[in-house]
Amino acid sequence: MDWETILRGSTTVLLLGAFAAFVVEDVLGKPENKKKRIWIWIVGMVLLVLARFGMDQLEEAVQGVLFADRIDRGPLGIIYSVVENYISFLLPPIIVLICTLIAYENSKSVSIFISTFAGFWACVLHEYPFELMRLPFLGADRGDGLRVRPALWLNIVLLFLCMAFFYWLFHRYFRDFFRKVIDMTNGDLRNFVLIPLICSIVLMSLLSILSGDNIDITSVNSNSMWIFILTVGVLILLFVLLYWSLFKGLTLSTQAMARRAELDVATQIQKSVLPCTFPAFPEKKEFDIYAVMKPAKEVGGDFYDFFLVDENHLAVVIADVSGKGIPAALFMMTARTMIKSLVLSGEAPDVVMTMANNRLCSNNEAGMFVTVWLGIYEIDTAKLSFVNAGHNPPLLLHNDTWVYLDHKTYKRGIVLGLQENIRYCMNELVLNEKSHLLLYTDGITEATSLEKELYGEERLMACVEANKNQTTQGLIKEVLKDVNDFVGDAVQFDDMTMLALQKKL
């Protein structure tokens, strides 16, 4: 391999990589971490050159093993040509993809699509226009094709002008379109990630089949110009397909944004009906209360509530509706309103549960149900009367020790909305000084890590035990932090809701 070949090859792959890098930066570039991204791209371009010549050396070695006798390669030669050319063709997109994912680690879907698109079109668009620009300078036709041996400077200058021209076209006409696509899809381009890859597979397969084992997309001769014409047609067709897919994605995204706007309104309505001002009762020095809900979707099926029944009684509720999304949220609103109205009417907790269950069972064609924990706290005596309708056992800090208020010690009934005429039993206990009650939904204990492991009651117990001296707000924040650290990057599948009540005086 002489120095001219090395310089020509290096220039080609560098300009390919530079074109793709400029396209990616043009679409995704941000002011912050600019120096870091520049170094990432520089290292990527160096690796691209090394990988290109490493591929050349590997190709020579493989050819020497497979085709040492230099006879007609036959079907094996065609298969080898397709695989070798396709791997070479994908090399720049792969390097660009790796660099983009490192430089833009917080937007994987967009990064994969834009980098794959840029690398693929860099490889395709420079080939034939570059060759056409060189045709006037080629040698005479000797019958076996035009001699493609121009001066080295001509190769470099024409290739640079070709890539610069295509980058100008992209910057002038397509950059804003791609930015609009990203904004309209809220950065989620997963449905379009495979389009550039599919385009490249189709293009290379056609060229390989048509050209057999003599394929060389970096050269033009008198016998392959018709392949160039067909390739241009394929490129136009593939670009129309890509444009149509993105346009369809924009249409779907517009509809999704309209639905998202409606969900945002529903989210605000749901948040507004739950008490969220803390401290909730600044005039009450006998207790402290804090709660939080983190829905898995825009609207959730969990809810909490607390309110003064009178000056001496505080009602505390936490619940979890079966299902997710809007149906669960609507059922949640119904259950919450019903339970609150029954409590304010002066009914005991067990009676409230029985009446609420019968009402929820009627006309419940969807078959939804809700787990509920309802307690009435008598402020002057610190007596807590509660009913558990299929809900998770709360945690109680009593005499400096955390315990679960489970079915082994306290009576528990079935969920509301499942079966009519169920009688619920009421439990009673007295909180002592600095007693702490933590209510939660199963979104806490059933939070799942990337390894598909549940957070569980044991981890929850260990967390609250380590934070027994925290305030109600501090306790909930520490539990949420511990759960989030455990879950990591795993998707939140269930609503997370917690409520803490502490006796202070």
Q: Rounded CA gap, 228 and 94, in Å?
A: 25
pLDDT in tens, 110-124: 777 777 778 777 776
CB contact burial 85-109 (16+ within 10 A = b; e otherwise): bbebbbbbbebbbebbeebbeebeb
DSSP state of 413: B
Q: Nearest 5°: CA angle at 486, between 483 and 488?
A: 105
Q: What is the DSSP string of 21-82?
A: HHHHHHHH--STTHHHHHHHHHHHHHHHHHHHHHHHHHHHHHHHHHSTT----HHHHHHHHH
Q: Rounded CA gap, 486 and 99, in Å?
A: 29
Three-state DSSP state, 376? strand
- Asked if residues 384 and 425 have their Cβ atoms less than 8 Å apart, the reply is no
- Asked if residues 129 and 107 have their Cβ atoms less than 8 Å apart, the reply is no
Tens of pLDDT, residue by residue, the chain (505 residues): 566 667 777 777 788 888 888 888 888 877 777 888 888 888 888 888 887 777 777 766 766 666 655 545 566 666 666 666 666 667 777 888 888 888 887 667 777 777 777 877 777 666 656 666 665 555 444 343 434 455 667 777 777 888 888 888 888 877 887 777 677 666 667 666 666 666 666 666 665 555 554 444 444 454 455 555 666 666 666 666 666 666 666 666 666 666 666 666 666 767 778 888 888 998 998 999 999 988 877 677 789 999 999 999 999 999 999 877 778 888 888 899 999 999 999 999 999 999 999 999 987 888 889 999 999 999 999 999 999 999 999 999 988 899 999 888 899 999 999 999 999 999 999 998 878 999 999 999 999 998 889 999 999 999 999 998 899 999 999 999 999 999 988 887 888 999 999 998 7
Beta partners for residue 316, in sequence order: 306, 375
- Asked if residues 479 and 487 have their Cβ atoms less than 8 Å apart, the reply is no
Helix-helix angle 108-134:152-169, to 10 degrees: 130
Domains detected in the chain: 3-242 (no CATH), 275-503 (3.60.40.10)
Q: Indicate whether this model's pTM tops 0.75.
A: no
pLDDT in tens, 28-59: 877 777 888 888 888 888 888 887 777 777 76
Q: What sign for the dihedral angle of Cα 245, 247, 248, 250?
A: positive
